Amino acid sequence: MEGGNGRVCVTGASGYLGSWLVMRLLQRGYSVRGTVRSLEDKSKTEHLLSLPEAKEKLELVEADLLVYSSIPAAVKGCDGVFAVAVPILDPSKDQSGMIELAMTSTMNLLRACDESHCVKRVVMTSTYYSAIQVPHEGEIPFEVDESSWTSVEYCMQQKMSCWGYMVAKTLAEKAAFEYAKEKEFDLISILPSLVGGAFLTPSVPGSVALYLGAMTDVATWMSSLLGYMSYVHVDDTIQAHILLMEDSHAKGRYLCSAVDATLDDVLHEVLPLLKSFNIPPPKVAASLDEDPTKAYYKINTTKLKDMGFTYEFDTLQKIFKDSVLFFLEKGHLKQVQ
Ligand SMILES: NC(=O)c1ccc[n+]([C@@H]2O[C@H](COP(=O)([O-])OP(=O)(O)OC[C@H]3O[C@@H](n4cnc5c(N)ncnc54)[C@H](OP(=O)(O)O)[C@@H]3O)[C@@H](O)[C@H]2O)c1
């Protein structure tokens, strides 16, 4: 697809990544159709309708990916579809239930795209969690690239934090590629790591809340995560989505991640940063289950870089600094007077 020309659909337009993607697509000149589940709910639409160019170029439509009949109208007439939405259950309540939701929503959307006879490419937002959870013996850190698929058996055995999400995203991405192969249509997946930075949504998005946790309460942050993590800024993530839609040479899966970091690495960056802004340091637990200095894997993102992609936010310092500035502006972090 040529940059800025044509109509694209963004599912989950109201969410963190979806709304940032809508903003950048409008800036680039695209006509955008965004899906939301309810047009009545202003908290899902106002931040989109107030974007520059929205009046002329943004159309919001209702679609629930779990209800097939609501989808064909959403993709009709679109050249490309960004499959961003993810139906998620409360992870504390039901992990395994997510698998069926992810499969149904993904297959419904792909079927509608296939039957539309207009959609030329689908860019599906997966996650790096569909690549990194593999049993590993031997030296660490081990390298992970796009050939690696998270092992469903391993996740089911380990039942690590968010295992249902990892399994659901992995199985949905695999099924999507099988379907695309059978139907011979163009599918690309992008696998971002933990996305942070500014946001357009009225409330703090889930992944951004984890960044905020690293700045306020490390124990809570760690308890919901795996300790060793990888990080990427929202704007880099979205620019990569657009590149993958537009570049005719794109093929298959693309990891999208700027930095791998241990908890020690994060604290090393965050503590002086907070100090420089006169923000109190986070609470840090006396003992943590994870070894804060241990690096488990190393993400190889050369496939994306080889397409000419560069990360504007390529260090922890840059990603966290942008997040701090935004949190201060919005009152989520307070300076000591
Ligand atoms: N944030 C991250 O760190 C991160 C990292 C890697 C991958 N990802 C992936 O990126 C995608 C977006 O994540 P996000 O952080 O932007 O999540 P988010 O803010 O929670 O947005 C998810 C969106 O999905 C929509 N949605 C939920 N159920 C739906 C359904 N049944 N039908 C249609 N839409 C539905 C919601 O829209 P409404 O409620 O408005 O309809 C919501 O706007 C997901 O696929 C996620 O797995 C995120």
How many angstroms is it from 15 CA to the middle of ligand 1?
Answer: 6
Q: Of 11, 86, 173, which is best to mutate to test ligand 1, by the most ligand atoms within 8 angstroms of its C-beta?
A: 86
Q: Region 50-57: what's the mean pLDDT?
A: 96
Cis peptide bond upstream of 141, omega within 30 = yes
Three-state SS across 68-90? HHHCHHHHCCCCEEEECCCCCCC
CB 148 within 8 Å of CB 132:
yes
For the CA of 87, the closest atom of ligand 1 is 28
Cβ of 66 less than 6 Å from ligand 1: yes
Tally of CB atoms within 10 A around 33 = 25
Query: Is 28 inside a domain boundary?
Result: yes
Whole-angstrom Cα distance, residue 215 to residue 210? 9
Instruction: Name the pTM for this structure.
Output: 0.96
Whole-angstrom Cα distance, residue 166 to residue 158? 12
CB 1 within 8 Å of CB 79:
yes
Query: Is 199 inside a domain boundary?
Result: yes
Cβ of 105 less than 6 Å from ligand 1: yes
Q: What is the DSSP string of 22-36?
A: HHHHHHHT-EEEEEE
Query: Is 335 inside a domain boundary?
Result: no
Q: Which residue has the higher pLDDT, 140 or 39?
A: 39
Six token digits for residue 106: 């993904």
How many angstroms is it from 86 CA to the middle of ligand 1?
Answer: 4
Instruction: Report the phi/psi class of residue 81: left, alpha or beta, with left for phi > 0 and alpha for psi in -120 to 50.
Output: beta
Residue 237 buriedness (CB in 10 A; 0-12 / 13-18 / 19+)? buried
Six token digits for residue 45: 């639409």
Whole-angstrom Cα distance, residue 31 to residue 201? 21
Per the structure, the complete domain to which residue 289 belongs is given by 7-330
Whole-angstrom Cα distance, residue 120 to residue 143? 33
Cβ of 319 less than 6 Å from ligand 1: no
- pLDDT for position 201: 96
CB 300 within 8 Å of CB 232:
no
Model confidence pLDDT, tens digit, residues 287-325: 666 677 788 899 999 999 999 999 999 999 999 999 999
Does residue 162 register a pLDDT over 90?
A: no
Query: Is 191 inside a domain boundary?
Result: yes
Q: Report the interhelical angle of 263-276 vs 206-216 (nearest 10°).
A: 70
Model confidence pLDDT, tens digit, residues 91-139: 666 777 889 999 999 999 999 999 999 999 999 999 999 999 999 888 8
Model confidence pLDDT, tens digit, residues 182-235: 999 999 999 999 999 999 999 999 889 888 888 888 766 665 555 688 999 999
Q: State the total domains in the chain.
A: 1
Model confidence pLDDT, tens digit, residues 141-151: 999 999 999 99
- pLDDT for position 223: 57
Query: Is 293 inside a domain boundary?
Result: yes
Cβ of 162 less than 6 Å from ligand 1: no
Whole-angstrom Cα distance, residue 265 to residue 315? 11
For the CA of 194, the closest atom of ligand 1 is 3
- For residue 72, what are the CA distances in angstroms to 108, 111, 114, 116, 199? 9, 9, 10, 7, 29
Whole-angstrom Cα distance, residue 105 to residue 94? 17
Cβ of 127 less than 6 Å from ligand 1: yes
Quick one: pLDDT band at residue 167, thresholds 50, 70, 90? Answer: very high
Whole-angstrom Cα distance, residue 228 to residue 216? 18
- For residue 202, what are the CA distances in angstroms to 10, 42, 81, 236? 19, 10, 25, 21
Query: Is 337 inside a domain boundary?
Result: no
Does residue 286 register a pLDDT over 70?
A: no
Which residue minimizes the CA distance to atom 2 of ligand 1?
A: 195
Q: Region 151-180: what's the mean pLDDT?
A: 93
- pLDDT for position 93: 67
Whole-angstrom Cα distance, residue 65 to residue 109? 7
Query: Is 2 inside a domain boundary?
Result: no
Does residue 69 register a pLDDT over 90?
A: yes
- pLDDT for position 290: 67
- pLDDT for position 225: 57
Does residue 67 register a pLDDT over 90?
A: yes
Cβ of 80 less than 6 Å from ligand 1: no
Q: Percent of the chain at pLDDT above 90? A: 74
Amino acid, res. 271: L
User: What is the CATH number for 309?
Assistant: 3.40.50.720
CB 10 within 8 Å of CB 32:
yes
Does residue 26 register a pLDDT over 80?
A: yes
Query: Is 93 inside a domain boundary?
Result: yes
Cβ of 237 less than 6 Å from ligand 1: no
Mean pLDDT for the chain? 92
Number of H helices, E strands in the chain: 14, 12
- pLDDT for position 236: 98
Backbone angles phi, psi at 121, to 5 degrees: -150, 145
Cβ of 233 less than 6 Å from ligand 1: no
CB 66 within 8 Å of CB 98:
no
Q: Percent of the chain at pLDDT above 70? A: 94
Reduced to 3 states, what is the DSSP secondary structure of residue 162? coil
